[in-house]
Amino acid sequence: MRRILTLLLVLMMALSLCACGTTDADTAPADDAAAQTDDAAEADASAAEGERTVLRVANECGYAPYNWAQGDDSNGAVPIADSSDFAYGYDVIMAKYICEQLGYDLEIVKLDWDALIPALQSGTVDAVIAGQSITSDRLEVVDFTEPYYYASIVTLARADSDYANAQGLSDLAGASCTSQLNTIWYDNCLPQIPDADIQTAQETVPAMLVALRSGAIDLVVTDMPTAMAATAVYDDLVLLDFTDTDDNFQVSDEDINLGISVQKGNTELLDALNSVLSTLTVDDFEKMMAEAISVQPLSE
């Protein structure tokens, strides 16, 4: 009888231990799963907080002092997408400042001048910062910010030419001239020169400077920053500014006000860009431009 009681006690203790073990085993995975879920939620939240908007900005990377390409990141140049080169210039300085203020990451996309607006329309890029005038024609297909620079119109001639001492448009009569394709310089200003011999438009600013310095043409019409940059590099060129005379180019505000263009209807980005530009003054613009001119590349 004692032996039977002993066996029953042993059996009951064994069952009690098994029950305890089963409870621990069943609850532990549930606790681990809950902890893993919490960790995953925290990781997702951290990832979301770490995400930054990438602003894809297009320009030619060949229009000094507004923008150009160079082989390294000196002076704060930014990598060009899908290229081993870097971009810098006034447009890049402005794009960097805007991105810093908005907490965006900047990506520079190099495109030909005529491809800039189509890239906006297709959504390939977010904004164009490329020395574009805010014209009524462009406003039909893209939206523009308030001006990010005000660029007066001037003329460049060779220092040894008959036009080097011109005091007004009438002194340029009969000159052979050109400018960049699809710009107000070429379309609006060259025809104002009396009896102008207007030659084929050039694809880029460097190309028009080559034509001028080689003697292929007598004059080019451009804006003040481009002319200042050219004369800072080439001592065989002179800048002709008729701004304070009655014999000057007739231009409207839309011809000389430069803006940042975005896809038509993209009011969110437009408002964000304007919120930064509204904090800057003309003096701020000039300081940024002076910086760009001071470090422009000595190449055509």
For 91-107, what is each residue's pLDDT tens digit? 999 999 999 999 999 99
Backbone CA torsion sign across 54, 56, 57, 60: positive
Cα 86 versus chain centre, distance:
13
Lowest mean pLDDT among 27-31, 150-154, 237-241, 261-265: 27-31
In the predicted model, what is the mean pLDDT of residues 182-193? 94
Residue 286, in any domain of the structure: yes
Structure tokens at 55: 């602003």
Examine the fold and report which residue of 242, 267, 283 is the final residue of a domain before the chain moves on: 242
Q: What is the pLDDT of residue 253?
A: 87
Axis crossing angle, helix 90-102 with helix 267-277, rounded to the nearest 10: 100
> For the residues 178-188, what does the mean pLDDT come to?
93
Q: Is residue 61 part of a domain?
A: yes
Whether residue 137 is found in the same domain as residue 260: yes
Pair (229, 260) in one structural domain: no
| Whether residue 126 sits in one domain with residue 59 | yes
Domain that holds residue 141: 54-150+255-294
Q: Give the domain CATH number at 118.
A: 3.40.190.10
Q: Is residue 4 part of a domain?
A: no
Give 50's pLDDT tier (boundaries 50, 70, 90): low
Q: Are residues 110 and 192 in the same domain?
A: no
Residue 35 confidence (pLDDT) above 80: no
Q: What is the mean pLDDT of the segment spanning 250-263?
A: 93
Render pLDDT for 190-210 as a digit per residue (tens, 0 to 9).
Answer: 999 999 999 999 998 889 999
The answer to the question of residue 37 being in a domain is: no
Gap between the Cα atoms of 229 and 298, Å rounded: 10
Q: Domain total for the chain?
A: 2
In the chain, % of residues over pLDDT 70: 82
